[in-house]
Structure 1
Amino acid sequence: MIRMLLRVLGDDYAWPVRRTMTLMTAAAVAEGLSYALLVPVLRALLGGDPAGAGPWLTAFGAAVALYAVLRYASDLSGFRIGTTMLRGLYHRLGEHLARLPLGWYGADRVGEVSVLAGRGLLSAMSVIAHLLAPFVSACVTPLTIVAVMLAFDWRLGLAALAAAPVVAAVQVWTARSTAAVDAERHERDRQAAGRVVEYLQAQPVLRAGGRTAERFTLLDDALRELQRTSRRGVLATLPGAVGLTLVVQAVFTAVLVLGARLALGGSIGAAEVLAVLVLAARCADPLLSLSDIGGGLRAARSELVRLDAVLRTAPLPEPRRPQRPAGFGLEFDSVTFRHGDRTVIDGLSLSVPQGQRLAVVGPSGAGKSTLLQLLARFHDVDAGAVRIGGVDVRAISTETLMAQIAVVFQDVYLFDGTIEENVRLGRPGAGAAEVRAAAAAARLDEVVERLPGGWAANVGEGGALLSGGERQRVAIARALLKDAPVVLLDEVTSALDPVNEAAVHEGIERLVAGRTVVMVAHRMRTVRRADRVVFLDRGRIVEEGGHDELLRRGGRYAAFWDISTAVRMPAGRPDGPGADR
């Protein structure tokens, strides 16, 4: 547990954590030794020499004061390290997430990272701030008391010491018996949280379809499963808690019986027996608290395991001697890329000369968007090479590579801030005139004029207060402001209305002018303007050439064109299917 905590925290926190643990251990030992002084105090008070108890009472008071100082120092150190650690862990997790390949962020990663950034980090902090001190005290204080009892009378000490292996065995057994239930509870918790988010996000669709009752059932089922799992978790810990109580009470009874027998036999006096029973009682209290402390530590350890797994995920390696691209031509050289067991790109070779536009079309799942992701190094290829300006993207530093590329996705995410702040993400140091010029080129100025607050208008979380077309205009303005020599477009107009599509196309034409462009497109209006078209299927290039050339061949691309234009235009019109042929 401690090793995992130190691994998660990093080297910067190793010494402060060890120092805090030393203080906690010293405080627990001081507590046990202070109880040991009760033996001579009670012996004097009950042995006919009450005045002789004075020095021992003074020593007892000093020991209690020392314990109080050490406990205060250890608790204060734990809280300080916990709060400092929480801040440091947020930075460490954020920096690590920023270096992970973007391909790592699958559909289920957002929820997982959100839980880790909240409950996971708080659990890590709770170990050092709230759980470690009681755990150390529950372990060290009884052992110190048992050591005193051994020094006082080895028979009574051995009787008390017999509890140690049994208590340890009960704790290990409880941890093993609850491990599966804890994992299931975490999964049920994640599912229930997902159902809640899904239910809230889907309200417009559910109400339009009149199916709110069904959704309530799904959510209720998830919450009921979580409740059942939580109940099983409580029942799984119950035998351990009861067993621990029985062991402690049995050992206390054994010490009591043995002490009485020794006293009746004349081996020790009544005062000594009373003192030993007081010590045994002080052993019992912290041992009984181990059940609750152990449960908290097990829950925290589960979160630490998940946090450790994320932090140990290897980021894409940075080149030791970064190179800069000599130009902005693009090349795929016998590229193979696999996602799990599926081969997404299969031995693909392709080049895009500097300043030209390449359109990539094909059916869903053909690997079109993956090509863009490999160019931006969201993933590393399994075989072959992806080059920009003749240099393998793996040999270019991430900062340099990202400076050369502007990406506009189909699904645009905007940060909860103003329109101007979101546009400035393209180049934070740009002047106000440059931001306005980029916005005008993307026809974003039309949106700004009609929004209350203008440039200071808030876009909401994810851009929720803007329409899809308005978010695309923000993304294009951001890319224009960045002014990168390579532009990657991923189906940016596939879900827009005609008015927004026309505005976005106008912005795209300004964006791609004079740049090297790779565009994934379903809308044929975009494909026509490409210098070259490749038709992709199952990760391989089936056809390539110019738009008109591919139509004349009458192959896969021509069939795809006919289907696409038939969907877009009514049959029989002059610009209907086959008009360009």
Structure 2
Amino acid sequence: MVKNIFDLADERKPLLIWGTVFHVIASMFAAAPYVFIYLILKELFENSIHPQKALVLIGGAAGCLLLQGLFLYWANSLTFINGCLMIGDLRLELGNFIRKLPMGFFTSKQVGDLNVLMTEDLCKIEDIPSTVYPKIVTGLLTPAFISAFLFVIDWRLTLATLAGVPIAAAIYVGNQKLLQKLTKFQKKSVVEANSRMIEYIQGIPVLKAFNQTGAKFEKLEKALDSYKQANLNLVNQLAIPSVAFSGFLELGFVAIVCVGTYIIFSGKLTISTFLLFLVIGLRFYEPLSELFELSGMTRMMDVALERVMATLEEAPLPETTEQQQLKSFNIEFKNVSFSYDQVPVLRSISFNVSERSMTALVGPSGSGKTTITNLIARFWDVDSGEILIGGVNIKNLKTDELLSHISIVFQNVYLFNDTILNNIKFGKTNATLEEVIAATKAAQCHEFIENLPQGYETVIGEGGSTLSGGEKQRISIARAILKNAPIVLLDEATASVDPENEILLQKAINLLVESKTLIVIAHRLPTIISADQILVIDNGEILERGKHNELVKNADGSYNRLWNSQQKARGWKLNTERLSTVKN
């Protein structure tokens, strides 16, 4: 843990070192008053102390306590401030780092796992440099300095004082494996409970519809029960080792009394020395006992730190060091293959998308359409082959440079808990209100925004929960239009739009084609009949390519079958006669 903290400190390492030095000095001054106590006791029992000498000794002890407080203040100031700054830097580093990871990292994690990582784990780590690390330093060094002083006074009683320490240390070390196992199980239960709680909250409409709220949602109930049991196990199984540790540690005080009494009767020990060891014996074990009490907390922090370090050791998408500028925005796939979890998704596909043209991707669900758009935005890297934009392999472009040229409208729209204005300006924060309004008019959402209570300043719920699916879709299209990127990727942009607005949105999409390189994933084939190129994809392969009029003429083709099935579906009506028969 300490090594990892120093590694994380990076350029703040000197401050952490100075804080450690000040804690060491403070520990020395914490032990120093016992020297003056010993001298005072010795003078008292020898009947030779004078008031002036007593004041000097008392002043020396007070001075040591004052210096201890002063160095402790400096040490805590450095460690607390440095700890907060370190974790602040770590939060930013982690947030910046995970955006560079391939999307596979996120799809393999539960949302509760990432939530715990970014909140609870970092909060636990924050206490390591500011609180726990200083306590470990002082908890070890203060007894060490006191032991060194006592050894000079009387080595026999010093050994008696330390009699229980080896056994207590063995209990501490032996307990660490159990503690590590319990804390990892506890962390796992935290992640599971957090994931199920988020799932429960996000799925409330479905749970209500199927009457599965409250205790009826067994997954949440089991997760919370597991979390409770994990915490109870952690407390219960640490109770006996904790009592045993304290008991054997303080066995030294019994040894002081027994050994001291024996030596006094032998005439080889002064009363003052015996009293000194009795006084110190009552305080000597407190720092060590605190270390054991901290062990549970430190193990939890270790687990949190391991999770953060493991995330930072994930392999990000390789970033080029060269800075290239794109001069054109045609897209080319050259023998691109891609697998996810060793399951082939795309199989050596090749196609060209001319600049300022519209290419539509059609095919059944799971055929690889969305994967193509994700690869263009480099959310993943291809297994083999190349993706070129303007003749440049996207791997040779900096990620920020690549994404600055791409606007994406996702099938599942996510809006932030902010004003509609700020959500639309997300891709162009310096846009004027006039530019925003022009984009919303093009996306056919200006009118409904104007009718909201605060218009463009209306705050929408998290994820856009206060808006309908079609309204969210149109705002996301306005956001893409406002960004004004030369490449636009639309993943089923009209899926959640009513028939009336679908026609208007189609006009907006057609306007985009005049100046953008547009790739559209579509399930509604009538929306893409004007596309310059249609690619029919199934099982990761391109089965057909061409324009609508060409493809629909191929009676044996997949596109023709899709087109005919959708035309038949449009004429589908509910069988009211059969329905009335069922009712009767």
Instruction: Name the SS of the counterpart of 1:416 in structure 2.
Output: coil
5 Å-filtered alignment, 1:240-319, equals 240-319=241-320
Instruction: Name the SS of the counterpart of 2:545 in structure 1.
Output: strand
Match of 1:570 in 2: 572
CA distance in 1, matches of 2:449, 2:99: 31
CA shift for structure 1 position 272: 0.6
8 A contact 1:473–1:507 mirrored in 2: no
Match of 1:497 in 2: 498
Query: Which deviates more, 556-565 or 411-420?
Result: 556-565
CA shift for structure 1 position 567: 3.3
5 Å-filtered alignment, 1:152-167, equals 152-167=153-168
8 A contact 2:27–2:138 mirrored in 1: yes
Match of 1:356 in 2: 357
1:389-410 deviations in Å (ceiling 9; x for gaps): 1100011122321222111111
* Cα gap change, 1:497 to 1:227, in 2 (>3 Å): same
CA shift for structure 1 position 31: 0.7
8 A contact 2:407–2:487 mirrored in 1: yes
Match of 2:558 in 1: 556
- The amino acid across from 2:560 in the alignment is A
- The amino acid across from 1:4 in the alignment is N
Instruction: Name the SS of the counterpart of 1:172 in structure 2.
Output: helix
1:14-72 deviations in Å (ceiling 9; x for gaps): 11111111111221121122223322222222333343544332221211111121122
Instruction: Name the SS of the counterpart of 1:99 in structure 2.
Output: coil
5 Å-filtered alignment, 1:132-147, equals 132-147=133-148
Query: Which deviates more, 291-300 or 9-18?
Result: 9-18
8 A contact 1:28–1:137 mirrored in 2: yes
Instruction: Name the SS of the counterpart of 2:553 in structure 1.
Output: helix
1:153-184 deviations in Å (ceiling 9; x for gaps): 22222333454443333222222102122111
CA distance in 2, matches of 1:310, 1:118: 14
Query: Which deviates more, 555-564 or 66-75?
Result: 555-564
CA shift for structure 1 position 124: 1.7
Query: Which deviates more, 61-70 or 200-209?
Result: 200-209
5 Å-filtered alignment, 1:374-393, equals 374-393=375-394
Match of 1:4 in 2: 4
- The amino acid across from 2:357 in the alignment is Q
Match of 2:525 in 1: 524
CA distance in 2, matches of 1:517, 1:432: 26
5 Å-filtered alignment, 1:296-445, equals 296-445=297-446
Match of 1:575 in 2: none
Match of 1:576 in 2: none
* Cα gap change, 1:307 to 1:365, in 2 (>3 Å): same
8 A contact 1:476–1:507 mirrored in 2: no
- The amino acid across from 2:558 in the alignment is R
8 A contact 2:179–2:296 mirrored in 1: no
CA distance in 2, matches of 1:40, 1:78: 35
8 A contact 2:487–2:517 mirrored in 1: yes
Match of 1:131 in 2: 132
CA distance in 2, matches of 1:219, 1:22: 48
- The amino acid across from 1:125 in the alignment is E
- The amino acid across from 2:257 in the alignment is L
5 Å-filtered alignment, 1:32-43, equals 32-43=31-42
5 Å-filtered alignment, 1:431-510, equals 431-510=432-511
CA distance in 1, matches of 2:431, 2:487: 19
CA distance in 2, matches of 1:20, 1:11: 15
- The amino acid across from 1:524 in the alignment is L
8 A contact 2:113–2:192 mirrored in 1: no
5 Å-filtered alignment, 1:54-133, equals 54-106=55-107, 108=109, 110-133=111-134
* Cα gap change, 1:500 to 1:486, in 2 (>3 Å): same
Instruction: Name the SS of the counterpart of 2:107 in structure 1.
Output: coil
CA distance in 1, matches of 2:342, 2:9: 34
* Cα gap change, 1:512 to 1:294, in 2 (>3 Å): same
Task: Give % identity.
Answer: 33
Instruction: Name the SS of the counterpart of 1:399 in structure 2.
Output: helix
1:450-499 deviations in Å (ceiling 9; x for gaps): 11111211122221222111111111111111222211111122233323
Match of 1:25 in 2: 24
* Cα gap change, 1:214 to 1:545, in 2 (>3 Å): farther
8 A contact 1:469–1:504 mirrored in 2: no
* Cα gap change, 1:256 to 1:348, in 2 (>3 Å): farther
Match of 2:512 in 1: 511
5 Å-filtered alignment, 1:183-202, equals 183-202=184-203
* Cα gap change, 1:293 to 1:211, in 2 (>3 Å): closer
CA shift for structure 1 position 232: 1.0
CA shift for structure 1 position 140: 0.9
CA distance in 1, matches of 2:16, 2:103: 33
Instruction: Name the SS of the counterpart of 1:190 in structure 2.
Output: helix
Instruction: Name the SS of the counterpart of 2:39 in structure 1.
Output: helix
Match of 1:577 in 2: none
* Cα gap change, 1:512 to 1:468, in 2 (>3 Å): farther
Instruction: Name the SS of the counterpart of 1:536 in structure 2.
Output: strand
1:212-253 deviations in Å (ceiling 9; x for gaps): 355354433322221111111112222321221122122222
CA distance in 1, matches of 2:165, 2:383: 54
8 A contact 1:524–1:565 mirrored in 2: no
Instruction: Name the SS of the counterpart of 2:531 in structure 1.
Output: coil
Aligned residues: 571
8 A contact 2:42–2:273 mirrored in 1: yes
8 A contact 2:168–2:246 mirrored in 1: no
CA distance in 1, matches of 2:530, 2:541: 23
Structure 2: segments with no counterpart, 5+ residues:
575-584
8 A contact 2:102–2:316 mirrored in 1: yes
CA distance in 2, matches of 1:269, 1:243: 33
- The amino acid across from 1:341 in the alignment is Q
CA distance in 2, matches of 1:168, 1:383: 56
CA shift for structure 1 position 147: 0.9
Instruction: Name the SS of the counterpart of 1:336 in structure 2.
Output: strand
- The amino acid across from 2:481 in the alignment is L
Q: Normalised by the size of structure 1, how large is the TM-score?
A: 0.92
* Cα gap change, 1:148 to 1:564, in 2 (>3 Å): farther
Instruction: Name the SS of the counterpart of 1:289 in structure 2.
Output: helix
Query: Which deviates more, 427-436 or 484-493?
Result: 427-436
8 A contact 1:330–1:351 mirrored in 2: yes
* Cα gap change, 1:291 to 1:499, in 2 (>3 Å): farther
CA distance in 1, matches of 2:480, 2:535: 24
Query: Which deviates more, 151-160 or 100-109?
Result: 100-109
* Cα gap change, 1:60 to 1:387, in 2 (>3 Å): same
CA distance in 1, matches of 2:301, 2:162: 29
Q: CA RMSD in A?
A: 2.3
1:93-114 deviations in Å (ceiling 9; x for gaps): 3332343344533263543332
1:414-473 deviations in Å (ceiling 9; x for gaps): 122222212222322233322221111111211222111112111222212221111111
CA shift for structure 1 position 571: 7.9
Structure 1: segments with no counterpart, 5+ residues:
573-581
Match of 1:175 in 2: 176
CA distance in 2, matches of 1:562, 1:233: 63
